[in-house]
Structure 1
């Protein structure tokens, strides 16, 4: 019976993972903008001049500075091209799977295989030439790698810093890496935060240098969608492969798993989307993909364990209730 349950949860989880990229289309305005900026940089234009010109042309805001993405991804495309970036994405996914294989070495083989299959399916579905210009995709892959590297905190911090340099929304992961508290780790994370802060101060100065008085500002955030809006968001992101009421089940699974980093990260991203995100901020979901759907595996694992513990107790109560 438990074997059948594992096959069912694996099929359901892979279906959810494969459905994640449904809303990401190459013709989406944001993706088209990032692709055009990267193309201009590849042709030799300066990043900030090209970004400012295209933002104005497409009526995208230039204020505050975070509305202009970090130049790291565009420079990467200019250096190694689309094929090189595609290979890099697959390499990061492969490293993430290797890291999680080691992290889950003490878990039951079936559970570990199911988690790795879900992460692999989600990553494979997300990685495509059309969406390689989405910064949240890269941040999500790097955070998946970082969260699997708990057995090497230096490598973990390095992967996390790379994610933050690509997308500033990933910055809270650095705070999570402070725990459990250790003096050396505290110093390392402090240095990393200093590097990231210096990088974004430089980025802000460069954006300010190309902003003109008439440039538009962001319409703001704080969409206040709430839990119901978040559940609808998650269901839509999975291509309706999961009903709205089941959207939080992977989060419950990660909570039962007890990982000190994954659950706080996923819960934090979910909370940020529920409170801050606007309806057009769907890309934010990529910040916890392809890891989030794997929580379903731990949820089923907990259910199977609960049934196994219940059966002996029930059998004993029946035996003790029989007349002698």
Structure 2
């Protein structure tokens, strides 16, 4: 006897959990409950330093942003990127070793070469491109206009930090937008634009290189060898850029310059939850509400029966692991790399939960009788 698949609630196609067996449905509900409980680990995680939001304290509240703005201004006035970066980092008591403590010069060189107003326009255009690309990708997934509007409102919540002019010199802002755009334009039959935007993200912030690796692995597992090759070529370009970057940094670093304390914070899953709450509109909600919503968003991405849903879920899970193991309180901004699409996962929750509950309540059994004549 075939299990009857219920009509979708919001989606045009049934969720990944539609038609599942009672045993698997109960396992899925149990996993969801564990995930939601795990999000409460956020209360055992220290908070990043709070910002005062007063103009006089901006140098303390946004020390990294002020550092990047100083470097851009000095390059704009004729300074050599690596020399002025080293001087600014020494003045701010930043570590200069290893070479990855220096940001790649891409963003600073671009921003130093054009007026500030043009940079602001470029940021807004990139954010608008992300929104339009995601609308084009998500619209066919929803059966009616209301859930489409909800999905786009959730995307706007994920983009809240990415349209703040005060953060325009922050590398993760631009890299996160390019990753979001890369995901939105991804098609198995037309992956080249996705690779190009992914490479742009990594040339701004090398920690986005994990995204290239994950997409290459998923392409290999999906039997897309040409696509996997494209992602690996992008990774090779990043490796060459990093080698040149390391060589340039070595020319300006002095023997007595301070070294980074390392990246082994081991703050746990709660730290990932906290980074997602402070990187999205969830920062406006009480933590006891915001934290479970992050867990529900992860569940929603798992529920969407679409290759993109799996890719976003894998990306979020990978950065959750990185932040949990390697993140420090002062590196919470790593979460910005994957924050833009996170909340959209909430739009897939109604169908996913309904299908799991329906599967768990399906107690129909098949009775086999042997008739002897």
Give the TM-score, by structure 2 length: 0.72
From 188, 191, 194, the equivalent of 2:236 is: 194
User: Residue in 2 aligned with 1:319?
Assistant: none
> Does the aligned pair in 1 maintain the 2:213–2:232 contact within 8 Å?
no
Offset of 1:138 from its aligned partner?
Answer: 0.7
After superposition, the Cα gap between the structure-2 partners of 1:130 and 1:268, relative to the gap in structure 1 and judged at 3 Å, is same
The 5 Å alignment of 1:132-151 reads 132-151=168-187
> Does the aligned pair in 2 maintain the 1:143–1:287 contact within 8 Å?
yes
User: Residue in 1 aligned with 2:302?
Assistant: 255
From 251, 266, 287, the equivalent of 1:243 is: 287
Counterpart-to-counterpart distance in 1, 2:329 and 2:95? 17
State the Cα RMSD in Å: 2.6
The 5 Å alignment of 1:74-85 reads 74-85=108-119
From 171, 185, 206, the equivalent of 1:168 is: 206
Offset of 1:249 from its aligned partner?
Answer: 2.1
> Does the aligned pair in 1 maintain the 2:162–2:177 contact within 8 Å?
no
SS in structure 2 of the partner of residue 270 of structure 1: helix
> Does the aligned pair in 1 maintain the 2:157–2:343 contact within 8 Å?
no
From 83, 103, 107, the equivalent of 1:69 is: 103
From 289, 312, 322, the equivalent of 1:272 is: 322
Offset of 1:137 from its aligned partner?
Answer: 0.8
> Does the aligned pair in 1 maintain the 2:65–2:167 contact within 8 Å?
yes
Offset of 1:80 from its aligned partner?
Answer: 1.9
The 5 Å alignment of 1:45-124 reads 45-108=79-142, 109=144, 110-124=146-160
> Does the aligned pair in 2 maintain the 1:111–1:298 contact within 8 Å?
no
Q: Deviations over 1:96-153 (max 9, x none)?
A: 2222222224312333332222223432443122101111111111111011112230
User: Residue in 1 aligned with 2:27?
Assistant: none
Higher Rg of the two aligned structures: 2
Alignment of 1:153 onto 2:204: no
> Does the aligned pair in 2 maintain the 1:164–1:171 contact within 8 Å?
yes
Higher mean C-alpha displacement, 193-202 vs 243-252: 243-252
After superposition, the Cα gap between the structure-2 partners of 1:227 and 1:303, relative to the gap in structure 1 and judged at 3 Å, is same
Structure 1 gaps of 5+ residues are 4-21, 317-324
> Does the aligned pair in 2 maintain the 1:23–1:239 contact within 8 Å?
no
Structure of higher RCO (CA pairs closer than 8 Å, 6+ residues apart): 2
Counterpart-to-counterpart distance in 1, 2:161 and 2:228? 36
SS in structure 1 of the partner of residue 154 of structure 2: helix
Higher mean C-alpha displacement, 262-271 vs 104-113: 104-113
Structure 2 gaps of 5+ residues are 1-8, 11-49, 365-373
After superposition, the Cα gap between the structure-2 partners of 1:280 and 1:123, relative to the gap in structure 1 and judged at 3 Å, is same
User: Residue in 2 aligned with 1:13?
Assistant: none
Aligned residues: 294
From 80, 104, 126, the equivalent of 2:162 is: 126
Offset of 1:225 from its aligned partner?
Answer: 0.6
Counterpart-to-counterpart distance in 1, 2:107 and 2:302? 33
> Does the aligned pair in 1 maintain the 2:158–2:342 contact within 8 Å?
no
Offset of 1:228 from its aligned partner?
Answer: 2.8
Offset of 1:176 from its aligned partner?
Answer: 2.4
Higher mean C-alpha displacement, 34-43 vs 289-298: 289-298
